[in-house]
Amino acid sequence: MIPNRFRPTGCFSRSAIALAAILPLLSACGGGGEEKTGESEAALDAATQSASVDTLYNNGMDALNAQRYTSAANQFSAIEANYPYSSWAQHALLMEGYAQYMQNHYTDAIGTLNRFTQLYPTSTDVPYAYYLRALCYYEQIEDIQRDQQGTVDAMNALQVVVDRFPGSVYARDARLKIDLCRDHLAGKEMAIGRWYQGQHFYEAAIGRFQTVVNDYQTTNHVPEALARLVEVYLALGLPDEAKKTAAVLGYNYPGNYWYAVTYGQLERDHLVNGVPPPRGSGPGVFSRTWNWLF
């Protein structure tokens, strides 16, 4: 997503046309040999060094639109190197970060965007820079079978966007992504808890499932976490704890699949009288029910 104000205006100069003719040499394939490739790169470097700042910026935007992100990043980097005090340098630095992001060069992009926010803290484009930085973390999230530090980093970066720019369009999207991060972290806890349960490490399993119940109450993993807690308590011979947990599950999720499974299990163990608990309602009912019982 490139803000429209970063797009070039006006016509290319003759030097821009010449530079545009040189750029395709970067992607030419086969037959040239190392010597010709070196000559092409040298020609490109010479053209870049002699190009005007508006030429570099326009060609960088042209390369972005053509999805030639490496070329785009090089053009914007040249502006920073050759024209650091020009009015173009600020936008070029941000677009360099965007080009790196589009190449999945997330570490480079984060470094560039950090530099932008440090150099131009009062820029109107700072919210976009922080949002783009957060996306760099967000898109590196691993599946739940792997370490989730990246998810934590993404959630923290997204929270910065929400906290600093709460009314922006970026904050609205960041809030949605934070919810997805929390769901992802809850899924990781559930995966570990199920593994502990399968290995009969019940105390460890309880810890993981309770973490989901206490820390991730807005995620869709809570009903299963409660159901798993009931299973573990029954396996440990703790029917009172099992019934209390089942009551929370039934009170807050009476139509949920996991409640049906749990209630059937309690019926088979003769721990319920066949009358489901009433359905909960109102904000915070889950927290109040859980805290009251435990």
Neighbouring C-beta atoms of residue 81, cutoff 10 Å? 13
Give me the pLDDT at residue 20, please: 33
**Dihedral sign computed on CA atoms, order 9, 14, 19, 24:** positive
Residues 3 and 125: beta-carbon distance below 8 Å: yes
* Per-domain boundaries in the chain: 1-103
pLDDT at position 266: 87
Would you state the pLDDT for residue 11?
33
Report the distance separating Cα 242 and Cα 146, nearest Å. 31
Residue 201: phi and psi, rounded to 5, are -90, 75
User: What pLDDT, on the 0 to 100 scale, is given for residue 131?
Assistant: 97
Q: What is the pTM of this model?
A: 0.70
Query: Given this model, what pLDDT does residue 264 score?
Result: 86
Residue segments in the chain with a per-residue pLDDT below the cut of 70: 1-50, 143-145, 273-294
Q: What is the CA radius of gyration of the chain?
A: 28
- Over residues 78-107, the pLDDT tens digits come to 988 888 888 888 999 999 999 999 999 999
CA distance 100 to 90: 16
How far, in Å, are 29, 217, 231 from residue 196 at the CA level?
A: 54, 21, 13
